[in-house]
Structure 1
Amino acid sequence: MNPLKRLASQTAVYGLSSIIGRFLNYLLVPLYTYTFAPADYGVVAEFYAYMGFLAVLLVFGLETGYFRFRSGGEREPPVVFATVVRTLIVANGGFLLAAVLLQQPIADLLRHAAHPEYIWWVAAIVALDSVGAAAFARLRAEDKALRFAGIKLIEIGANIGLNLFFILLCRQAFEADPDSLLGRLWDPAIGIGYVFLANLAASGLKILLLAPQLKDGLFGAGALFDLDLFKRIVRYSLPMVIIGMAGIVNEMLDRAALKYLLPYDDATNMAQLGIYSACYKLSILMTLFIQAFRYAGEPFFFAYAKQQDAKQLYALVLNWFVIFCVFIFLLVTLYLDSFQYFVGADYREGLTVVPVLLLANLLLGIYVNLSIWYKLTDRTLMGAWVALIGAGITIAMLWLLVPIYGYQGAAWAHLACYSAMVAMSYLLGRRYYPVPYDMTRVFGYIALGLGLFGTGRWLTSELGWNAFAAGTLLMLVYLAMVAVMDGRKLIVRPA
C-alpha cells in the first residue's frame, strides 16, 4: 500500500476508535446524573481528574521514547520494548503497592476517609492503563491499527456494559428484592464506587487482551533490560511529562481543585463540583470535533509543509475550522433547552457555564491550528513554554475567581487560559512561521456567533419566542452569512 494511503487509513482507525470511545463514555453521564446526587457524581469527577494527572505522570513519556529509540536503530526493537515495559511494570507496581498500604492516610488527606478503597481502586486503574500504554505503543509501531482499535473498543464496551449492569440492573433488582440474585450484587454502601469497579474490571480485561505483547516484553526472544538504554530513554522522555502535565492542568485542574477552593462546606462543595462536571460534558461536540481535527490535522500539516501554497492553505483551514466551531457553539447554545436533558434535573442550575466552556474550547481549537509554528520549525521547547504559561494562568485564575464566583469562575479560568495561549501562539507564529491568517474574519465569525447567541437569548426571554423556533431561525441566518462570505472559497482553492 502507498505509504501516504496507509498513514491516512491508520490515522482514521486510531482517530475513530478514540473519538467513538470517548463519545460512548460520555453517554454514561445521563446514567450517573439521573441516578446519583450531585455530591456523589462530584466524587467521580474529582477522582477522574486525579487520574488524568497520574496517567501522564506514570507513563513517564515512555511511549514517545519507545518510538524514538525503536526507530533509531541503536538497539533491537525487542530490547527497547522490554526496557520500557519492565520500567513501567516496576514503577506502577510500586505505585500501586504504596496506594494499598497508604490508602487510609491518603483518603483522610483527600477528605474521603469513609472510602479508603477508592484510593487503591483508582490506583489500580491507572497502573493497569500505564502498563497497557506500552503494549498499545508497540501495536502502533507495528502498524496493527485494527487490533489497537479493537482492544480499545472492547475495553470501552466492557466498561459501559458493567456500568449498566451494576447501576441499572443490579440497583433496580436490589430495590425490588434485596435477596434476589442480582439484588445481592448491589451494595448501597459502595454506591458511586461501582463506577470505579466497572472501570477497573474493564482495564483488567484490556491487559488480558494485551498479554501477547506484554509477554514478549518479559519473556520473548531478545527481551532484555538494557540499563544504558533505560537512562537514555528516560532523559529523552521526561520533558514530555512536563508538556503533558501542563496540558492536563489546563484541561482538568478545575475539577481537582474546586472542592478545595469553593467557599462552602465539604458536602456543598462536592455537589457544586458534580453540577459543574456534568454541565462541562455538554461541550462534548466541540471537544470531539477538536480531537478529530488533532488526529487528522497534524499529519496533514506536516505532509503539506513543503508545498508552495502551504501557508495559504493553512490560513484557509483555520478559517473553515472556526466556521464549523461557531456552528457547534450555536447548535448547543441555541438549543440548550433540548441539550439540558443530557443531565439530570438536579444538575441543570449549572447550564450557564456551557456557553463559556464552548467558547473556551473553540479558542483551544484555534490554538491547535496556530501551534504549527513550533511543530514545523522544531521549536517544541518554546511551545512547551506557551503551555506552561497557560497552566500558570489557569492556576492563578482558579485561585482568584473560584472563591468569589464558584464554579462559574472555573469556566472563566478556562477562557482566560486559552485566550492567552491563542495570543501568544499567534504572535510567536508571526515571527517564526508567518502564515497569512485572516484574523479579522476569524474573530468576526466568533463575534457573529456571540451576537446570534445573544439575539437568541433576547428573543426567548424578552419577546417570548419559542426556543426551538428562535434557534432554527438564527442557525439559518448563520449558514446564509457563511454561504455569502465564504461559500465560494470552499470549492475554489486560493491562488
Structure 2
Amino acid sequence: MSGFKSLFKQTFIYGLATVLPRMLSFILVPLYTNPEVLSVEEYGRVSFIFAYFVLFNVVLAYGMETAFFRFFNKDENQEKVTSTSAISLIISSLGLMGIAFLFRNQISSLINIELKYLNLVFIILLLDALVIIPFAWLRATARPMKYAIIKILNVAVNLGLNVFLLLYLKDLATNYPIFNSIYIADFEISYIFISNLIASGLTLLLLLSFYTKLKFTFDTVLWKKMMRYALPVLIAGIAYSVNETFDRILLEKLLPTDIAEEQIGMYSACYKLALFMTLFATAFRLGIEPYFFSHSKAKNPQKNYAKILEYFVAFGSVIFLGVIVFADILKPYIISSDAYYEAMWIVPFILLANFCLGIYHNLSVWYKITDRTKYGAYISIFGALITLSLNYILISIIGFKGSAIATLSAYAVMMLLSFYFGRKHYPIPYNLKKIGLYLLVSILFSFVFFYNYRENYIIGSAMIIVFLGLVISLEKEEIKQILNRN
C-alpha cells in the first residue's frame, strides 16, 4: 500500500503543477476570444501556429525523455545516464535550430507561417528543448515541489505578460509616453509569442543549476542504446502530434480560404472545454510514469497496474459526465464571445477522445517496461493514418465536425490496439467488467444528455447522482481502505 500512497502523493503534486497553471491559463482563452483583443480569424491563426508547436517539440525531444526514465531506473550509473541524455539534447537542439534559421524562408513558405512569427517560434522551441532533461531529472529523483513551482511560475509569467501586453499596454502607451517604445499597433499575435518566449527563458534560467552541477561525460555505447529505445518513441510522438494537432492544419488546408481561419478559431475555442479531461489525464500520467518504471521489478506489479487503470476510468468517467452536463454553464467562463459557440457540437467527441487517450497512456505501460516501444510507434502510426484519412474525407463534407469524429476514432482505436497487444505480450488482470460498465454508462448518459436534454440540469444532475452511486457501490471497499490509511 505504501507504493500507492507514494503514487497518489506524487500524482497530487504533479497534478498541482499541471492543473494550477492550466487553470490560470484558462484566462487566456477568454482573453484571446475577446473580440476587442483578437478576431475569430486571428485566434484561428494563433491556434494554427500552436498546432505546429506540438510537432516541432516532439522532433526536438525525439523520445529522449522517455529513454532517460527507462535507463535512469535501469542503469546503475544514473549520473552517466543524466549527462549523456542532456548532452545529446543540447547538441541536437542547437544543431536543428541552427539549420532551421538558415532555411527559415523556405520553411515559412512551406508551412504557411509568417516569418515574423516563425523566428519567435524557433527561439521558444530551443529554450523548451533545453529544459526537457532538467525537468525529467526532477521527476526521476522525486523532487515534485521544485518541479511544480517552476512549472507554475512559467505559466504565471506567460499569463501576466499576455494580460499586460494585450489588455493594458495600448492604454498605457496612449497616456504615458514611456510605454510608446514597446507598444506596436496590430502586434497582438506577436505579443502572444513574446510572452511565451520570456516565460521559457525564465524557466531555463531557473534550471541552469542542473547544468552547472552536471558532469559533462558522454557515453557513446549508452547513447546508442538510449537512441534505439527512443527512436520508436519519436515515431510514436510524431504520430501523436498528427492525432493531436493536424486537424487544425488540415482545416486550414482543406476548407475554403475565406472561412478556414474562422472555423479553426471556433473549433479550437470549443476544443478547450476538453481541458478538464486533459488536465486529469496529464496529471495522472505524470504521476504514474515514474511509478511504472520504478515498480516494474516488484512482486506481481501487474495487479497494481490493473487497479491504477480502474481508478483512472472511475474518476475519468465522473469528470467526463460532469463536464458534459455543465458544459453550457462553463463555456462563458472560458469562451468570452458567442461567435465561437457554433462549434459546441464537438465537445462530447473531444472529451471522449481525450478520455480514450488517457486510457491508452495507462495501457501503454506494457510496451514501455518490456522495451517493446516499437509497438507504441506502430499503434500511433495507425492512429495517425486514421486521423489523416478521416479528416480528408470528412472535412469537405461536415467541416470541423469531421475533425472531432476523426480525433475520437483515432484515440479509440489506439486504446483498443494497445489493450489487444498488451494481453499477448504482458498480461495485466484488468477488471474489464467494472471498467466496461463505467465507460458504457458514462458515455451513454453523456451523449443522450448533450444531444437530447442539453441545459436540462434536473435530468443532468440525476444522471450524475445515479452514476456516482454506481461508482461508490462498486468501489466502497477500496474507498474504505483509502480513508482508513494513515
Give the TM-score, by structure 1 length: 0.83
Equivalent residue, structure 1, for 2:148: 149
The answer to whether the aligner puts 1:475 opposite 2:464 as a matched pair is yes
Equivalent residue, structure 2, for 1:118: 117
The root-mean-square deviation of aligned C-alpha atoms, in Å, is 3.4
Q: % of aligned pairs identical?
A: 36
Q: Provide the rounded CA distance (Å) in 1 between the counterparts of 2:322 and 2:29.
A: 20
- How big is each residue's C-alpha offset from its partner over 1:397-449, in whole Å with a ceiling of 9 and x where there is no partner? 22222222211111111111122122222322333344454545434433333
Q: Give the secondary structure class of the aligned counterpart of 2:130.
A: helix
* Unmatched runs of 5 consecutive residues or more in structure 1: none
Q: Provide the rounded CA distance (Å) in 2 between the counterparts of 1:182 and 1:91.
A: 39
Q: Provide the rounded CA distance (Å) in 1 between the counterparts of 2:472 and 2:213.
A: 56
- How big is each residue's C-alpha offset from its partner over 1:76-117, in whole Å with a ceiling of 9 and x where there is no partner? 93x6655544443343333333444443333333334xx411
- The answer to whether the 8 Å contact 2:232/2:374 transfers is no
The answer to whether the aligner puts 1:280 opposite 2:271 as a matched pair is yes
Equivalent residue, structure 2, for 1:212: 209
Equivalent residue, structure 2, for 1:335: 326
Question: Residue 375 of structure 1: CA displacement?
Answer: 4.2
Larger deviation, residues 243-252 vs 97-106: 97-106
- How big is each residue's C-alpha offset from its partner over 1:229-275, in whole Å with a ceiling of 9 and x where there is no partner? 6555544533331222222222222223321122x11x421111111
Amino acid in the other structure paired with 1:107: S
Question: Residue 166 of structure 1: CA displacement?
Answer: 0.5
**Alignment match of 1:186 (pick from 183, 187, 190):** 183
Q: Provide the rounded CA distance (Å) in 1 between the counterparts of 2:85 and 2:290.
A: 26
- The answer to whether the 8 Å contact 2:267/2:343 transfers is yes
Map 1:66-465 → 2, pairs under 5 A:
66=68, 77=79, 83-112=84-113, 115-140=114-139, 143-173=142-172, 177=174, 180-182=177-179, 185-217=182-214, 223-224=216-217, 233-262=226-255, 264-265=256-257, 267-298=258-289, 303=295, 310-311=302-303, 315=306, 317-341=308-332, 342-343=334-335, 344-375=337-368, 377-457=370-450, 460=453
Corresponding residue pairs, total: 476
For residues 381 and 37 of structure 1, do their structure 2 counterparts lie closer, same or farther at Cα, with a shift above 3 Å needed? same
- The answer to whether the 8 Å contact 2:383/2:410 transfers is yes
Amino acid in the other structure paired with 1:22: R
Q: Provide the rounded CA distance (Å) in 1 between the counterparts of 2:26 and 2:107.
A: 29
Q: Give the secondary structure class of the aligned counterpart of 1:328.
A: helix
Larger deviation, residues 284-293 vs 367-376: 367-376
- The answer to whether the 8 Å contact 1:255/1:273 transfers is yes
Amino acid in the other structure paired with 1:161: G
Highest Rg: 1 or 2? 1
- The answer to whether the 8 Å contact 2:367/2:373 transfers is yes
Q: Give the secondary structure class of the aligned counterpart of 1:186.
A: coil
Map 1:13-52 → 2, pairs under 5 A:
13-34=13-34, 35-52=37-54
Give the TM-score, by structure 2 length: 0.85
Q: Provide the rounded CA distance (Å) in 1 between the counterparts of 2:472 and 2:77.
A: 55
For residues 413 and 181 of structure 1, do their structure 2 counterparts lie closer, same or farther at Cα, with a shift above 3 Å needed? same
Amino acid in the other structure paired with 2:286: Y
Q: Provide the rounded CA distance (Å) in 2 between the counterparts of 1:67 and 1:447.
A: 35
Q: Provide the rounded CA distance (Å) in 2 between the counterparts of 1:5 and 1:473.
A: 33
Question: Residue 356 of structure 1: CA displacement?
Answer: 0.7
Question: Residue 67 of structure 1: CA displacement?
Answer: 5.2
Q: Provide the rounded CA distance (Å) in 2 between the counterparts of 1:70 and 1:445.
A: 36
Q: Provide the rounded CA distance (Å) in 2 between the counterparts of 1:236 and 1:292.
A: 24
For residues 158 and 370 of structure 1, do their structure 2 counterparts lie closer, same or farther at Cα, with a shift above 3 Å needed? same
Amino acid in the other structure paired with 2:197: L
For residues 103 and 450 of structure 1, do their structure 2 counterparts lie closer, same or farther at Cα, with a shift above 3 Å needed? same
Question: Residue 359 of structure 1: CA displacement?
Answer: 1.4
For residues 144 and 361 of structure 1, do their structure 2 counterparts lie closer, same or farther at Cα, with a shift above 3 Å needed? closer
Q: Give the secondary structure class of the aligned counterpart of 1:223.
A: coil
